[in-house]
Amino acid sequence: MTGQKGTKLFYHLKKWLEICALDYDMLDEGDRVLVGVSGGLDSLVLLDLLNASMIFLPSFSVVAVNIDLGFDKTYKDYADLEEYLKKKSYEYIMEKTDIGPLAHSDYNKKNPCFLCSRLRKKRIIEIAEENGCSKIAFAHHKDDIVETLLLNMFYAREISTMVPNQSIFKGKFHIIRPLAYISESLIKKYAKERGFPVIENRCPTSKVSKRVYIKNVLDELEKQNKDIRENIFKSMSHVKPEYLLMRQSRKGKRSTAKG
């Protein structure tokens, strides 16, 4: 990590990143953290903030990993991102794949996002193991967590979302989301302030996905109540199980209602 002279916004975001990391026990002394860098502004903000000097967190190192999904056959986006990482002296790994076209092929038309995400995550975990990284940091922010809750309720018939610190493979790896307390609007504002390169998202479903639909629904609701997203986010920490649909069995044990 390096020292970094920042603005008021920088210190605000870093403060909430540290609070989130502490609240969910994300980082340990000497951790080597793989940071998933898609080329989007969210992941560049995460990489930038994690590379700053911390006040309350233990010492750790980061390696940026980009999985080129194969949508840009000219590899221009790939080259632009690599130039940025080199300029900033980041340790990085970039890998070209055909995951995107494969996930969007004819035999998988119904759910390209699921397969694309699964294959990308699988390769990231393999790279983490190859490079001694037990922590994998993704740039999911507060809005992503709210949207995922609604996605799972609307389409998966369950109440669940992304968690800030997720143990996988019996604790061998942890997926961490240090931006979980930070809104998308502040992330975009900081990215603009820092002048991060804009890498176009060339995924053909990126503008018509269910997540985009949920985002648009929330935008409409916020026209009537500006606190909608914040209220949904806070509600996930104020759950009252006794007011959820739980069937009472004959033996007095509660079970989930099935539909």
Residue 177's CATH number: 3.40.50.620
Mean per-residue pLDDT of the chain: 90
What is the count of structural domains for the chain? 1
Is the distance from CB of 37 to CB of 65 less than 8 angstroms? yes
pLDDT greater than 80 at residue 74: no
Whether residue 34 contacts residue 135, with contact meaning beta carbons closer than 8 Å, is answered with yes
Within a domain: residue 85?
Answer: yes
pLDDT for position 255: 61
Residues 6 or more apart whose Cβ sits within 8 Å of residue 128: 34, 65, 134, 136, 173
- The residues that bridge with 32 in the sheet, in sequence order, are 61
- 252 within some domain: no
Structural domain includes residue 76: yes
Q: Is residue 81 part of a domain?
A: yes
Structural domain for 13, as ranges: 8-203
For 240, counting Cβ atoms within 10 Å of its Cβ (0-12 exposed, 13-18 middle, 19+ buried), the class is exposed
Spatial CB neighbours of 51, under 8 Å, sequence gap ≥ 6: 1, 2, 4, 62, 88, 90
pLDDT in tens, 28-56: 999 999 999 988 999 999 999 999 999 99
Residue 143 lies in a domain: yes
Establish if 230 belongs to a structural domain. Answer: no
Residue 144 forms part of a structural domain: yes
Which is nearest to 217 in space by CA: 153, 141, 139?
153
- What confidence tens digit (pLDDT) does each residue in 178-226 have? 999 999 999 999 999 999 988 877 778 877 889 999 999 999 999 999 9
Residue 29 lies in a domain: yes
- Lowest-confidence segment of 54-58, 72-76, 152-156, 211-215 by average pLDDT: 72-76
